[in-house]
Amino acid sequence: MSTNIHSDNYQSICVKDPIVESNNSHIPPIYATSTFSYEDLEAAFAFFRGENHIYTYSRFSNPSSAFLAQKIAELEACGLKDIEARGLLFSSGMSAISSTLISQLKEGDTILCQSVIYGAASDFIHTDLAAFGVHTIDNNLKDLDEVLRIIKGNPTIKIVYLETPANPTLYCVDISAISKIAHEYGIKVIVDNTFATSYIQQPFKWGADIVVYSSTKFMNGHGTGISGAAVTRNIDDHKKLFKILKNFGGHCSPFEAFLLNNGIKTLPLRINQHQHNAQMLADFLEQHDKIGKVNFLGLLSHPDYELAQEQMHGPTGMMSFELKGGLKAGMAFQENIRFCTRTASLGTADTLITHSASTSHSVVPEEIRLKNGITAGLIRCSVGLEHIDDIIKDFENALSFV
């Protein structure tokens, strides 16, 4: 499977910012300032009237984050035509997700939401938004006829929200098909692309309206910071989202933007190695007698292998696997991991494992978890950049205690 998915332009996109470039700094500096002086009073007044963009206050915008947000937007739209992609950076992935949804919804509206998504996002949608009168319909979005029936029968649906590949089962949603149905009824599609990044999958190519990220993960790539990103397809959605960012105060700090920019510089190299290691680990696990199932998009056994081949350019570095011994086996496996790391995050240089039902998806009701393949014996793995022999040896040893 090819991972050279773009022209060289993807890896060499360089967004210029007048302030960032003013001192000819090779590496964009950290603009550790809360305010910017009004060199042009009329320009400053025009900014507060919403008529232009200048730097005034870092809760609104800061050079360290502004140029990087646009770089992420250009990566998202790389090679695509007629897209006015605009990016914004947030203090976390959840800040990006929640702000994006708030910018598009009001009391009485409905979200058609993928059945199982990241736990905190699910909790926000089903509890916090519900408290403000926003309704939710859950569906796995796999049966397109059923999706059409739901949309036809619920005129208050304004958003279809999905993540593909899904956390933690890696099942995929057909972005193009969902977008065509949604757009026919004036509904917008928001895609969480955290697992894939724009290097592997470009949701705009398949019709999505807004793409959100926990850029804490693969974009940063080293586990050194917390940040989020959202990219809109058009300027109107960007303006709506900027207003929420400004008023809710969830802006990415200059230092976090600096860390994120350094991570993005090596994104293609890292993703290629993540995928290489993940494929080899998946091949090993699929043959192991204590493993009942491996969820990895590079395996022919995955039910969404063909769809992933169509809308993605690689299997990602994410996988999950189900131990035949259930919860007891899952706990024994984790307790005996030595080289890899037990933690709930993903996308770093290190191999990370977690028991999804007890961590990232613990807020999801058990019956929904089980219905969507998140069993007591399921382990999620973010495959790192270490030597694959060391990763496999650690897994082999841990499995011997199961």
**For residue 1, is it within any domain?**
no
pLDDT tens sequence across 29-78: 899 999 998 888 888 888 888 778 788 889 999 999 999 999 999 999 99
Residue 302 sits in the same domain as residue 229: no
What is the phi/psi pair of residue 262, to 5°? Answer: -65, -35
352 token code pair: 């990370």
Residue 279 sits in the same domain as residue 194: no
Residue 147 sits in the same domain as residue 223: yes
Look at residues 109, 76, 316, 315 and name the one whose alpha carbon lies nearest to residue 209. 76
> According to the model, what pLDDT value does residue 88 have?
98
Judged against a pLDDT cut of 70, whether residue 5 lies above it is answered with: no
Percent of the chain at pLDDT > 90 equals 79
What is the Cα–Cα distance from 398 to 318, expressed in whole angstroms? 19
Q: Which residue has the higher pLDDT, 356 or 100?
A: 100
pLDDT tens sequence across 288-308: 999 999 999 999 999 999 999
According to DSSP, residue 126 is labeled: I
Residue 165 sits in the same domain as residue 307: no
Judged against a pLDDT cut of 50, whether residue 2 lies above it is answered with: no
> According to the model, what pLDDT value does residue 221 have?
98
CATH number of the domain where residue 374 is located: 3.90.1150.10
**For residue 144, is it within any domain?**
yes
- The count of other CB atoms within 10 Å of the CB of residue 141 is 26
Structural domain of residue 335, as residue ranges? Answer: 268-399
Residue 73 sits in the same domain as residue 206: yes
158 token code pair: 């304004």
Residue 93 sits in the same domain as residue 210: yes
345 token code pair: 């995050």
> According to the model, what pLDDT value does residue 3 have?
36
**For residue 56, is it within any domain?**
yes
pLDDT tens sequence across 346-402: 999 999 999 987 777 777 777 878 787 888 889 999 999 999 999 999 999 999 999
CB 278 within 8 A of CB 316: yes
What is the Cα–Cα distance from 338 to 397, expressed in whole angstroms? 9
Residue 230 sits in the same domain as residue 289: no
Q: How many domains does one find in the chain? A: 2
